[in-house]
Amino acid sequence: MSGQRSHLAAALVSAVFALVGAAGPTGPHTVRPAPSSVRGGPETLSAPGWYQVPTDHPTPANDPLPAALMLGTSGRPGPVIDVGQAQAVVAALWHLRDVAFQISSNTPAGRRFMAEFESGPALESDEVTCGCTDRTVRAPISAESLLVTRQTTYPATFLAEAITNLKGSPYIQYLIISRQSASQPWKVVSDPGYLGSASLDRPGAVTDGFDNATPPGPASRSLPQQLAAYWQAWTITRHAPASSDLEPGQWTTQAGAQMANTPDGAIRQFNGLPGYYLYHGGGPQEIWQFGTGTGGLTCGVVREETYWDYPGSKLYQPENNDNWGSTIAPGPSTGRSSAAPSANLVSFKARFRRRGSCRGR
């Protein structure tokens, strides 16, 4: 690579998805894994591979939390939470998130406050550290559905789905809520959502209010890595991998078509630079599975890292860090050592199916 080229890993996107009616995988996808180098035009961009972005979460604030976040049984037999208690937990967390978004989640006070009641991918995406965006307050919940199984020990987790409104448009919000022990509060660990309307998932085989539907099997836990490979194929080849058994849909073929419009090496209009994309499936602790009345649901994480190439000697960062986020110092940037990825995170929920494995969708 020419010494007059520099590149900047500038954005990390967290994609939280759900798979309905997961069947066992038919085999690995025949696509290239996350590459150590990616190509665009006549030259090769020597990307350093996947870069683990430092999260730099703040110390949680010590503000009093609603008593609802400590609801649940402790020290006696029985479920650690029932459906009525879960509804109170959701209401409390919904209010806290609104307060945090109003404070502004990219301020020190907002970040410390949010760390009290969020963790995992939810905190990673909501606790904005790049200084380039913020979170918008959701409207009150107009309808909700909870998937709460009978759990007698901690950690315990349940799923809340809500219909709300965002900036005047219908919005579907999902909150995966978990509690690690009786001494800790319930927290949001993942919060995907998307604009539009949809039917909410409902419990299946309900007993005493608890969802007894069968969740997906162990084989579906590989889905984050499979989806990452699927999206990687679109950015490199501009089409889906031939071996994929994922059905066409919004977050497979439709999302892939958008990726194909700006594949590896394409110039992006908003900054005039060619971008290169790497996808990485989340870890085993970032997978949550639920049963519903229409099939199993697997939720997980896929992260995207974007490297911006510059066919010159310098990239410029203004004093307000507006170009590349807070991890890049103001002034000219030359070379990889000063170009760590910024934590610019977006979260959404993708729904798709395996071929022949799901009915009623």
Domain of 150, CATH number, reads: 3.10.450
Statement to judge: residues 227 and 291 lie in one domain: yes
Statement to judge: residues 259 and 131 lie in one domain: no
| Inter-CA distances, 25 with 17, 236, 270, Å | 17, 23, 38
Statement to judge: residues 190 and 108 lie in one domain: yes
Statement to judge: residues 27 and 99 lie in one domain: no
Statement to judge: residues 72 and 186 lie in one domain: yes
Which of 166, 195, 224 is where one domain is finished?
Answer: 195
pLDDT at 135: 81
Statement to judge: residues 49 and 76 lie in one domain: no
30 CB-contact burial (10 Å; exposed 0-12 / middle 13-18 / buried 19+): exposed
Q: Which domain holds residue 17?
A: 6-54+216-353
C-alpha to C-alpha distance for 149 and 316, rounded to whole angstroms: 52
With residue 263 as reference, give the H or E element that holds it. Answer: none
pLDDT at 198: 87
Query: What tokens does 128 get?
Result: 């904005």
Statement to judge: residues 50 and 73 lie in one domain: no
CB 171 within 8 A of CB 165: yes
CB 55 within 8 A of CB 343: yes
Statement to judge: residues 190 and 245 lie in one domain: no
C-alpha to C-alpha distance for 16 and 297, rounded to whole angstroms: 13
Give which of 215, 352, 221 is closest to 282, Cα–Cα: 221
In a domain? residue 280: yes
Which of 131, 162, 195 is where one domain is finished?
Answer: 195
- Say if strands 275-281 and 288-292 run parallel, antiparallel, or are unpaired: unpaired
Residue 257 DSSP one-character state: H
* Per-block mean pLDDT, blocks of 10 residues, the chain (361 long): 35 43 27 33 48 74 95 80 96 95 80 92 77 78 96 95 95 95 95 89 90 86 86 91 80 89 83 80 88 87 79 66 64 43 32 30 20
pLDDT at 321: 66
pLDDT at 200: 94
Query: What tokens does 248 get?
Result: 């066409």
Statement to judge: residues 36 and 77 lie in one domain: no
With residue 98 as reference, give the H or E element that holds it. Answer: helix 83-103
Domain count, the chain: 2
Residue 286 main-chain phi, psi, to 5 deg: -110, 35
Statement to judge: residues 341 and 247 lie in one domain: yes
pLDDT at 246: 76
Statement to judge: residues 109 and 231 lie in one domain: no
In a domain? residue 208: no
List Cβ neighbours of 35 (8 Å cut-off, separation of 6 or more).
47, 49, 278
In a domain? residue 202: no
Q: Exposure pattern of 46-77 as b/e (b: 16+ CB <10 Å)?
A: ebeebbebeeebbebbeeebbebbbbbeeeee
Statement to judge: residues 164 and 129 lie in one domain: yes
In a domain? residue 274: yes
Residue 127 amino acid letter: E
